[in-house]
Structure 1
Amino acid sequence: MKTAEAPAPNLGQTLEWLRRELAEMQIQDQRLLLTLRHLHSILEELRAESARWEDTRSSGGTSPIRARADSEGRARQPMSSRWLAQPLSGVDNRRSSLP
């Protein structure tokens, strides 16, 4: 005895849906890779800055506060949390449904 179920989509439609999903996943992977690379470069900058601070601190020549004020005057401005989160704003966290 047959049940009254919706007919299964044909194989062609299912394969087409699967191709679209895989293409979207590749795009998401590329975006995530770019974000990861960006965050990695920020971490490297922060590690280098931390090492400079530790060197300044251990040298005892000037106070860490004075060294920081001098370095900020000559170098780039400190990063804001909004700038750090910027690459994540374009990431799409969608979940797809089955066909």
Structure 2
Amino acid sequence: MKAAEEPTPDLGQTLQWLRKELAEMQVQDQKLLLTLRHLHGVLEELRAETAHWEDASCSGGESPVRARAGSEGRGHPALPSRRLAQLLQGVDSRRSSLP
């Protein structure tokens, strides 16, 4: 049984709220996709650098430190670690609100 104080939500208002929530979720999904793509690029760059270091140390050529120093300017622009931590912790995510 419903208490007399609880208003019955209007169907139109409920549908409007659902549309708004879905739109916000789509925006959030797009942000997560961009973050995922960036992280994928960073991981690929790190894999390539690691392979380069391993090749350099096995072949007796330049030291891994020199190999890394030579590759500093290449690749994707790094996301600041503070911003990355915020994204991974969900600081930007919104709270769910019921109508």
Shared fold per TM-score greater than 0.5: yes
How much has 1:61 moved relative to structure 2?
A: 2.7
Query: How many matched pairs?
Result: 95
Q: Is the 8 A contact 1:35 1:87 kept in 2?
A: no
Aligned-CA RMSD value = 3.2
Distance in 2 of aligned mates of 1:93 and 1:2: 33
Q: 1:86: how far off? A: 8.3
Q: How far apart, in 2, do the equivalents of 1:97 and 1:49 lie? A: 44
Hey, what does 1:88 align to over in structure 2? 87
Which has the bigger relative contact order, CA under 8 A and spacing at least 6?
1
Unaligned runs of 5+ residues in structure 1 are none
TM-score, length-scaled by structure 2? 0.75
- Distance, in Å, in 1 between the alignment partners of 2:24 and 2:2 is 37
Q: Which runs of 5+ in 2 are unaligned?
A: none
| Fraction of identical pairs, as percent | 65
Q: Which runs of 4+ in 1 moved over 6 A?
A: none
In structure 2, C-alpha distance between the alignment counterparts of 1:30 and 1:15, rounded to whole Å = 23
Q: Which has the larger radius of gyration?
A: 1
* Paired residue type of 1:18: L
1:32-43 matches, within 5 Å, as 32-43=32-43
Q: Which amino acid aligns with 2:55?
A: D
Change over 3 Å in CA distance of 1:44–1:2 after alignment to 2: closer
Instruction: Report how far residue 4 of structure 1 moved.
Output: 2.0
* 1:49-80 deviations in Å (ceiling 9; x for gaps): 000000000001333334444x25xx517x87
